[in-house]
A and B are shown apart, each in its own frame.
Chain A
């Protein structure tokens, strides 16, 4: 065992080999991806996200969501992620170019979240607790989602791009929680909103028996906001077991504030079921961090097609239709009034 120089060279060489091989060369290959756009250069994906989204990303990191939730959809010939409605195509490197940090994750103690924003119900309550929409309108949207409204943005896809050139900075900067759902409207996958109506909710929040095989989990239960809506996420974060009694997700009550109702009940207050509900005269409202993390969740959406991967499933609505263009802007008029870029 002699010969010091070969030893040092070898130690250095093996390390450099692996460093170059697994980090430097991949950086050359996929380290400088740009967003894709269509011929006119309008339909740009992915887009940089809003400030609330970014702060939500930090809340997500700080509370270790990544240790239970992955954010990557595997190809349909490898795994059944797509069959589970976790996405309509496999994830590609381009989906993540603005993510920092990236939360691919390697554990699914909970569901994959790569498209959780895309799974939100179609009706627009998006700027709801996360934004600064008028409380009245928002309250209405939360409490009784009018199903008719759900389909309206999609029914006039052609109008959307005209209405707003997708390049408007406002749409890029708006907390886009609203963006994805609009674009997903009418997607082949059963919209959770529809499911809510179809499922016999049962009177108690505990209704696992009602689950049909293959149905997305958890199931919509009566008395709760529509599944995967912003209001639903707040209830789920605050009291996961009020939605699925068997869930082992921690409760994030420290992201919420329990306070005495002063005057009028806040429009942001959570709709909690009996056991988790605050006492009479009190309400539970999200802190800013909670609003941000929900804005983040609502913004997670890889449903936009990419040239390099094949979208699967019935009919990605986006195939040739221009619907996804200007996703941020199209629902905005529907909710009435400009989004006013809540910040």
Chain B
């Protein structure tokens, strides 16, 4: 990014100002309106569905007779339904929306071929809808993270091909020689996902691998989806939003390069850490543990880079919703990765294998890291698409605190409960039921945390709905979290 890119004002105002560069950006933003809003709207609709499912899953785990006699509301179907809605409905759609917008901006060209995206998005929604219905009706494949039946996979793949071909076409029409670090991550994500999805489908359904290798492929897929698809989009977004909002270039391109390549190299090898001590050749597990430890390199470089970029600008967190959510997400990436290293070590893994700790880990990755970062980008992007500012600063604040406390409490509950559960599991003098009774209070605590996150998600959906209906504020000043003192000229 070059230093002339100062924090944006409202597109309408910049057009009047006659600043060509800002005018150009306003045009680009306007061209992305339909597809990006479509992705965001479907994503948020899925978020609400997934949240309701999540509450059911959480409550039913400690109150198993709740809605117990109905086949499509049985816990074992709601759980994969919740997960797939969040992964393929919410996270993929939201990430795609942000990625499309970033791609158009960074290629410095108005969005071409919007029809490809709209068609892709429509097919994707259809696929997720059928897939979730199939899971609830009992047609799950039984492979974790890949529960959608094969016919749904075909729909999703067609949808994805449309969207990925759009990305490649856009990239070919880009202007300017510079390829910003965000584009690396986005190109990576756009190219990794189809390979990953195709490889997973091929090795599990078309030419199925034998026995335990199905599990290896499943977890290889799941971890790579988390890192190379969601993680790559979130990191790319953070690399754009943080410098953009504070109006200062990334501290070091060199660090960013190291971070990207080590991330791609090491995080893609971590899948087997979910199966430590499982029936696999030891080298597979050991390689994954080693790779997990090596992911500390990208974590350190990316974290350091963001930190040094932010240095001196931390007070802006008081005002800018985008910055606050994005920085929360970026910090969560560090926490997520450190916990990932800890629980993969053999000595720890023998305690936390088969406990709620793995649930805590997934939620740290998908919610604290990815979802919070994407929330941040939405607070930045949506006003530029609808031409209005967010209506209530207080709602944004409430959204932030409810989701931050929610995910924080949830992580603590599941980590603490999971460790105790594991300790009891590893104590053969205690009956098995003891380990369940130990974790139940923590599961109730998790449900409380879930209520907070539900409140947060509903608030955001409501606020987004207002924006969509054109009920945002008409103003030249972005909506801040707190009243801005005179001397502060923070971004958005």
Contact = CB atoms under 8 A, between A and B. Distances in A.
B275 A17 contact: no
Contacts of A99: 211, 214
Interface stretch (A73-81, A124-132, A148-156, A166-174): A73-81
Nearest to A86: B432
A106 B353 contact: yes
Interface stretch (A62-70, A136-144, A183-191, A193-201): A62-70
B98 interface: no
30 contacts: A2-B178, A18-B269, A22-B288, A23-B199, A23-B220, A26-B280, A26-B284, A29-B281, A31-B209, A61-B141, A63-B138, A64-B80, A67-B75, A67-B144, A68-B76, A74-B278, A74-B353, A79-B353, A95-B211, A96-B279, A99-B211, A100-B208, A104-B279, A107-B354, A217-B433, A248-B62, A248-B440, A250-B76, A251-B68, A254-B71
A10 B287 contact: no
Contacts of B180: 1
Describe B's contact surface by its main secondary structure: helix
A2 B177 CA distance: 7
Contacts, number: 242
Contacts of A250: 60, 64, 68, 74-76
B143 A101 contact: yes
Contacts of A14: 261, 264-265, 268
Interface in A250-265: 250-254
A165 interface: no
A307 interface: no
Interface in B191-215: 191-192, 195-196, 199, 203-204, 208-215
Interface in B411-442: 425-433, 435-437, 440
Which of B144, B272, B426 has the most A CB atoms < 10 Å from its CB? B144
Interface in A42-94: 57-58, 60-68, 70, 72, 74-75, 78-80, 83-84, 90-94
Nearest to A103: B142
B220 A107 contact: no
Which of B178, B212, B215 has the most A CB atoms < 10 Å from its CB? B212
B278 A21 contact: no
B184 interface: yes
A185 B261 CA distance: 57
Given A95-B279, A244-B433, A250-B74, A62 B274 contact: no
A28 B91 CA distance: 35
A112 B71 CA distance: 24
A13 to B, nearest CB: 9
Contacts of B358: 106-107
B268 A18 contact: yes
Given A14-B265, A29-B281, A106 B275 contact: yes
A213 interface: yes
Contacts of B354: 70, 105-108
B5 interface: no
Given A18-B220, A79-B277, A107-B355, A62 B429 contact: no
Given A75-B277, A96-B279, A250-B76, A23 B213 contact: yes
Interface size bracket, A side: 35 or more
A214 B431 contact: yes
Given A22-B271, A64-B75, A108-B355, A15 B228 contact: yes
A19 interface: yes
Q: Can you list the 6 inter-chain pairs with the closest CB atoms, starting with the nearest?
A: A64-B76, A61-B142, A18-B268, A96-B211, A62-B138, A108-B354
Contacts of A4: 179
B428 A83 contact: yes
B214 A102 contact: yes
Interface residues of B, number: 89
Contacts of A252: 74
A61 B138 CA distance: 8
Which of A60, A80, A90 has the most B CB atoms < 10 Å from its CB? A80
A27 interface: yes
Contacts of A84: 428, 432
Contacts of A157: none
A101 B208 CA distance: 10
Contact of A22 (B74, B138, B179, B216): B216
A267 to B, nearest CB: 25
Given A15-B195, A250-B74, A254-B71, 12 more contacts: A1-B257, A2-B178, A17-B265, A18-B269, A23-B199, A30-B212, A61-B141, A64-B75, A74-B353, A246-B436, A254-B69, A254-B70
A10 B224 CA distance: 16
Interface string B105-147: 0000000000000000000000000000000001111111000
